[in-house]
Structure 1
Amino acid sequence: MSDTTPRTGKKNLTEMRRNARSLALQALYQWSVAGQSVTEIDAQFRVDNDMSNTDTQLFSELLRGVIGSSRDLDEAFRPFLDRPLDDLDPVELSVLRIGAYELKHRLQVPYRVAINESVELAKIFGATESHKYINGILDKLAQRARADEIRARRNNNG
């Protein structure tokens, strides 16, 4: 079933995208700790996980896009960190990279959605208070990466 079939409503599409982000986070974590190639990880996740309720295109885009631009993404949020990049927990780092990737490269995703989805990932997979840390960093990044969108939103809301 494709994402555009009548039986796939907005809630299901949202769930499919959330599943894609969740699996992408797990795959990125694996990449960061095990050092496997993106091709190996992508193939392994497709075999080992039920992808029937997952936006597989988004999964691959996040996995490959984040890995391919990880240095650029790290530099984008590094100014907002309160510690060296190497001191970040691998889960936090992977969540930040996903959020930064969406803010910088998936402009069709509203900035508030990109931040919220990353915060939700941190709540599920991260340390107890990591979601607050993720929220603060991505909010600051959004001020730079999505300044026009944020300004337009403020102007439209009065």
Structure 2
Amino acid sequence: MKPSERRKARRLATQAIYQWQITQDNVADIAQQFALEQDTKGVDMEYFRDLLYGVSVHTKELDGIYSPFLSRPIADLDMVDKAVLRLASYELTRREDVPYRVVINEAIELAKAFAAEESHRFVNGVLDKVIKQLKK
């Protein structure tokens, strides 16, 4: 598995998670829609599905991992930031095959690509605290 294929899977998953958060549509329908309508060349689609389904199934648990480190209520979070934090929290707790440094770096890159201008700093700060908590 090439790192670029997982990177592309994370990008696609972030978009799919965002759509799921906004629409609350069935996750299987969103996964199918993305598989049919998005450019999936070079995307690890198995990893994409794992991230999308994993985040949707474990949302409450994932929110509980990063929410203690937020400076505002989770309901006030930007939806893109929330999607990135949920995806990263999932990888940190459920994908032990991915080093935490990779997870944080990828989350920062996703925030830079999709979120507001300073979101990557916010995401980095929250995930640094999550890592410290998980290592205890």
What TM-score do you get using the length of structure 2 for normalisation? 0.97
Out of 20, 29, 49, the position equivalent to 1:31 is 20
Question: 2:73 aligns to what?
Answer: 84
Q: Match for 1:95: what amino acid?
A: V
CA distances 1:59-93 after superposition (whole Å, capped 9, x unpaired):
00000000100100001111100000000000000
Q: Which has the larger radius of gyration?
A: 1
1:143 aligns with 2:120: no
Residue 52 (structure 1) shift: 2.1
1:133 aligns with 2:84: no
Q: Match for 2:85: what amino acid?
A: L
1:119 aligns with 2:108: yes
1:43 aligns with 2:65: no
Q: Match for 1:101: what amino acid?
A: Y
Residue 50 (structure 1) shift: 2.0
Structure 1 stretches (4+) deviating beyond 6 angstroms?
A: none
What TM-score do you get using the length of structure 1 for normalisation? 0.84
Out of 58, 65, 83, the position equivalent to 2:54 is 65
For 1:113 and 1:93, locate their aligned partners in 2 and report how far apart those are by CA, in whole Å: 19
For 1:140 and 1:37, locate their aligned partners in 2 and report how far apart those are by CA, in whole Å: 32
Q: Match for 1:106: what amino acid?
A: R
- Structure number with the bigger relative contact order (C-alpha 8 A, sep ≥ 6) is 2
State how 1:17-28 maps to structure 2 within 5 Å. 17-28=6-17
